[in-house]
Amino acid sequence: MRVLGVDPGLTRCGVGVVEGVAGRPLTMLGVGVVRTPSDAELGDRLVAVERGIEAWLDEYAPGYVAVERVFAQHNVRTVMGTAQASAVAMLCAARRGIPVALHTPSEVKAAVTGSGRADKAQIGAMVTRLLRLDAPPKPADAADALALAICHIWRAPAQNRLQQAVAAHRTSGSPGAPGAFRTPGAPRTPGVSRTPRTSGPGSPDTTPGATGTPRTTGATGAPRTPGTPRPLKGRTA
Whether residue 44 lies in the annotated active site: no
Report the 10 Å Cβ neighbour count for 5.
32
Whether residue 19 lies in the annotated active site: no
Beta bridge partners of 4: 17, 65
Q: Is the pLDDT of residue 219 over 70?
A: no
pLDDT one-digit tens code per residue, 122-180: 999 999 999 999 999 999 999 999 999 999 999 887 666 665 677 788 888 655 444 44
pLDDT at position 71 is 77
pLDDT at position 4 is 98
Q: Find out whether 130 and 150 touch, Cβ atoms under 8 Å.
A: yes
Q: Which residue has the higher pLDDT, 15 or 173?
A: 15
Q: Is the pLDDT of residue 86 over 70?
A: yes
| Catalytic position from the list 41, 54, 68, 144 | 68
pLDDT at position 20 is 96
The residues, ordered by sequence, that sit 6+ positions from 66 with a Cβ below 8 Å of its Cβ are: 3, 4, 5, 6, 100, 101, 102, 103, 148, 149, 151, 152
pLDDT at position 180 is 44
pLDDT at position 142 is 97
Q: Find out whether 127 and 150 touch, Cβ atoms under 8 Å.
A: yes
Q: Is the pLDDT of residue 211 over 70?
A: no
- What is the pTM for the complete model shown? 0.69
| Catalytic position from the list 39, 54, 59, 141 | 141
Q: Which residue has the higher pLDDT, 81 or 196?
A: 81
